[in-house]
């Protein structure tokens, strides 16, 4: 069973049950304590990542959602192309820096030439085993959680695949309960340190 973060231990059982029974469950599935969107990935695919082959030359951009991921993906891909926009402007970002946990284009990541750049929102305990033992580079981007909450709230209103929650208070409660990815933040930061 997943460890309950300290800041969630004071929540009443009624609050937790109420949040667990909210209708947004149809937009999410749980995998080893984290929430994922079923339109982008599956349990089978996430299981396969445990043994994903990591190379020493790989670069992983790991971020909390809405923390500047796309911006950093673009910067890193420009670095890969030595600052030449010609090498990046006609190539989709998903092809330059694809998501490890969301292989939406069904690309064979193993056959990608080195150095490979990947983006991920996975917490440490869900990253491939090889990433913990290989000298791959990890770029971690963090942002103030209050900024992330507001950004994620407005972002969720623009995406049809998210349940639209008009009330910011309800959205914040879900966010703090881990259904807005806040638990990911804690698990990402706390899984490498004792929080």
Spot the catalytic one: 81, 84, 121, 154: 121
| Per-position DSSP letters for the chain, written without gaps between them | -PPPPGGGTTS-HHHHHHHHTSGGGGG-EEETTEEE-TTT--HHHHHHGGGPPP-TT-EEEEE-TTSSHHHHHHHHHHHHTTT-GGGTTTS-HHHHS-BSS--TT---GGGSPSSPEEEE---GGGS-HHHHHS--EEEEE---HHHHHHHHHHHHHH-TTSPP---HHHHHHHHHTTTTSHHHHHHHHHTTS--
- Element containing residue 34 per DSSP (H, E): strand 34-36
Tokens of 149: 């909450």
Tell me whether residue 154 is one of the annotated catalytic residues. no
Annotated active-site positions, please? 121
């Amino acid at each position: 069973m997943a460890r309950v973060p300290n800041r969630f231990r004071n929540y009443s059982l009624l609050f937790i049950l109420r949040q667990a029974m909210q209708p947004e469950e149809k937009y999410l599935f749980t995998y080893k304590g984290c929430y994922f969107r079923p339109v982008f990935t599956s349990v089978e695919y996430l299981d396969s990542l445990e043994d994903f082959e990591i190379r020493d030359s790989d670069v992983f951009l790991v971020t909390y959602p809405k923390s500047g991921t796309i911006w950093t993906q673009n910067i890193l891909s420009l670095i890969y192309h030595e600052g030449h926009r010609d090498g990046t402007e006609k190539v989709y970002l998903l092809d330059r820096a694809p998501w490890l946990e969301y292989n939406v284009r069904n690309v064979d990541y193993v056959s990608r030439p080195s150095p490979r750049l990947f983006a991920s929102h996975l917490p440490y305990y869900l990253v491939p085993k090889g990433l913990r033992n290989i000298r791959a580079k990890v770029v971690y981007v963090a942002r103030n959680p209050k900024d992330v909450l507001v950004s994620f709230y407005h972002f969720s209103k623009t995406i049809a695949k998210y349940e639209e929650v008009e009330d910011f208070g309800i959205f914040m409660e879900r966010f703090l309960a881990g259904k807005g990815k806040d638990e990911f933040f804690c698990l990402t930061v706390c899984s490498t340190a004792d929080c």
